[in-house]
Amino acid sequence: MKNPQRHFVVPFDANYLHRAVLCYDSLLEYHDNFIFHAFCFDDLTYNVIKKLNHKNFIPYHTSQFETRELLRSKASKERFYEYYWSCKAFLVKKVIKEQGAESATYIDCDFMFFDSPEKIFQEMGEADVLIQPNNFSYLRVNDFVPVGYYCSCFECFKNTKNGLRVLNWWHKKCMEWCFTRFEDGKFADQKYLDDWRTRFRGVREITEVGANVAPWNAQKYDFLLKGKQIFINGKWPLIYYHFHSLRMNLSDYKYTITGDRHNSYEISPQLEELVYKPYVKRLGGVIKKLKKIEEYKKYTEVNPEGLYQLQK
């Protein structure tokens, strides 16, 4: 039976292009009916995706989505990722409106799928909005208060009056304030989600254990390979892993798992062997494939660390 069509909204720049391609490739293994809406924040990213010409991997140039409102937000940012965060709700709205989609889902590009996300979507039921908890481990639980209970990495919005109401509210708030600092109970685009379950009706929290397994919650799980499937605590299939804080050199393919906001993540040898090493191997293969495109190859030569800053 064919899956329902899913619209994934994925913004990124050249620094994350290799990760976005791998995210798309892994999703393609487990889902047969989706569109990957790639919002490209620089010309290189847009041009490379056009040349890849992958099925249902649709690039959007900045000229196709940057409005005056977004450009004002852009001008206020010191860090490029603050601007990207502030655009999320707007980009989801754009896809819903232009595609006439029944729903659209924002996802971060540093995912790799290990199973079908339909298991996540099944939780939505009659709700209009689906949001993802951070699920912090006991080692990271104190991070919850400042950064937020929810992780703004996987949010699905239905094209309903109530779904759009929530989406419009989030967009308005992100245009008012979206920075990587802690201020008046706010943090980035993410802390705004904390009270959605009580502020709005029809908002449901994802409970699927295999969703958003990440370096801040992996400490509470055991990982086991059964055949070709990775299981969490021997029971729940891993759906996607969120490879936040992983850096790979685009020239020598060496990688590090860093921390975030002056902390560090405890990654077990078991997790590194079953999850990180396959990801790193595939990521290196994606980079090598992308280097066959001359402009991307030149980019990696001058920017092997993948850390260039936002160009205003």
Kindly report the CATH number assigned to the domain that includes residue 234: 3.90.550.10
Could you give the CA distance from residue 280 to residue 233 in angstroms, rounded to a whole number? 23
Q: List, for residues 121-157, the tens digit of each pLDDT value.
A: 999 999 999 999 999 998 888 888 899 999 999 999 9
Number of structural domains found in the chain: 1
User: Does 309 map to a domain?
Assistant: no
Predicted TM-score (pTM) of the model is: 0.96
Cα 261 to chain centroid, rounded: 19
Q: What is the mean pLDDT of residues 266-273?
A: 91
Q: Up-side HSE of residue 62: CA atoms within 13 Å toward CB?
A: 15
User: Does 59 map to a domain?
Assistant: yes
User: Does 81 map to a domain?
Assistant: yes
- Indicate the pLDDT class of residue 256, thresholds 50, 70 and 90: confident
User: Does 312 map to a domain?
Assistant: no
Under a CB-based contact definition with an 8 Å cutoff, are residues 132 and 211 in contact? yes
Range of the domain at 243: 7-302
Q: What is the mean pLDDT of residues 269-283?
A: 95
146 Cβ contact partners less than 8 Å away, ≥ 6 residues apart: 182, 187, 191
User: Does 110 map to a domain?
Assistant: yes
Q: List, for residues 190-246, the tens digit of each pLDDT value.
A: 999 999 999 999 999 999 999 999 999 999 999 999 999 999 999 999 999 999 989
pLDDT cut 90: percent of the chain above it: 87
Under a CB-based contact definition with an 8 Å cutoff, are residues 39 and 89 in contact? no
User: Does 221 map to a domain?
Assistant: yes
Could you give the CA distance from residue 69 to residue 168 in angstroms, rounded to a whole number? 14
As a whole number, the mean pLDDT across the chain is 94
Residue with the two structure tokens 């729903």: 103
Q: List, for residues 22-68, the tens digit of each pLDDT value.
A: 999 999 999 999 999 999 999 999 999 999 999 999 999 999 999 99
User: Does 228 map to a domain?
Assistant: yes
177, pLDDT greater than 70 = yes
User: Does 28 map to a domain?
Assistant: yes
